[in-house]
Amino acid sequence: MIPTLEWLPTGVNFLDQTKLPLEETYVLATDYKQVATVIRDMIVRGAPAIGVSAAMGVAIGIDRSTATDLPTLTAEVAVIAKTLAETRPTAVNLFWGIDEVRNLYNELAAKNTPIPEIKAAVIAKARRMYDEDIASCKQLGANGASLLPQEGTVLTHCNAGALATCGYGTALGVIRAAIEAGHKIDVLADETRPFLQGARLTAWELMKDDITTTVLCDNMAAHLMSKGRIQAVIVGADRIAANGDTANKIGTYGVSILAKEFGIPFYVAAPWSTIDIATASGDLIPIEQRAATEVTHSNGKQMTPTGVGIENPAFDVTPAKYITAIITERGVLRGPFTESIQQMNKQTAPELLPA
């Protein structure tokens, strides 16, 4: 399994995804501010991984605090949570991860639990979330495997694999599960400009698993679909609204329109924590704007005229009408998504497969 992040006695160790595929190096974050930097600079990325990273950021912040009384520590926790929450606005898992650990802290603080016990409890919670994410991805993969063709080519956009989670992956987890079940699948990976998550990351991790993978430029999908080269599309998600509208890496919306045009199923794979019941529709999802240099430069070389205007939204929102199904660890959702999401939200979460 690819070690995306890991809790160590010295801090949280992150695989530096900005250096892949040419270098496999790690960044050790020893306090919550460093965890925030790792998230903001996309050293770690992918909604599920961001969520667990944020949880570990809160936990390490509490653990490294020198506060000797609960009022002081509570004030510090508010600052820790705010710092982490300001890193990347689109992925709802970020706020979920923060809240999971902060809520536990608040419960324990309300009971006047001794600070050393609180520290041990929040660390245990964050580490448990890591294990639960892997189990969730494996269950999600098992739930979605049968949706993919027994034989054929699957297109994916961005990276929704082990690198975007604590292991196994969401969209790539479904592909892995299908192959483990005997499906004969090869993968087309959109390069995913401007950060090239498909070309750098998806291709790298699938090749590690000996899964046949071909990288294509983002503007090639329509041509290949028209030639019958693609039998299914599967992507991850950074936030899914209550009506099924889905925010994912920029370019996903266009791929969904193409899939609809050519009659190709378009699947979204994401853990239940990515579904934001409080956000009614995709119009309300905040879209992160990133630095112009991600567009103007490639490998340190300027590619555009100095002074030209640049747009660099990191995400777009795919309307629910273009989505065939949403695959979660709780089960497969189908339209109308407003009803199916509400119904599944009322159900008790199932026991997960062992991680």
Q: Are 24 and 2 in contact (CB under 8 A)?
A: no
Q: Are 256 and 322 in contact (CB under 8 A)?
A: yes
Contacts of 120 (CB under 8 A, 6+ apart): none
DSSP 208-219: HTT--EEEE-GG
209 catalytically annotated: no
**In this structure, how many other beta carbons lie within 10 angstroms of the beta carbon of residue 40?**
13
Rounded Cα distance between 123 and 121, Å, is 5
Taking Cα atoms as reference points, which of 79, 308, 315 lies closest to residue 194?
A: 315
Annotated catalytic residue within 218, 238, 245, 276? 238
Q: Compute and round to an integer the Cα radius of gyration of the chain.
A: 20
Q: Are 245 and 320 in contact (CB under 8 A)?
A: yes
Pull the structure tokens for residue 275. Answer: 């579904």
Strands (DSSP E) found in the chain? 5-8, 11-15, 26-29, 151-156, 184-190, 213-216, 232-235, 239-241, 246-249, 266-269, 275-276, 297-298, 301-302, 315-318, 325-328, 331-333
Q: Lay out the sheet containing 213-216: strands in order across.
A: 213-216, 184-190, 151-156, 232-235, 266-269, 325-328, 331-333
DSSP 100-116: HHHHHHHHHHHTT--HH
**What is the tally of helices (H) and strands (E) in the chain?**
12, 16
Contacts of 77 (CB under 8 A, 6+ apart): 58, 61, 62, 102, 105
Q: Are 192 and 199 in contact (CB under 8 A)?
A: yes
Q: Would you name the residues annotated as active-site residues?
A: 238
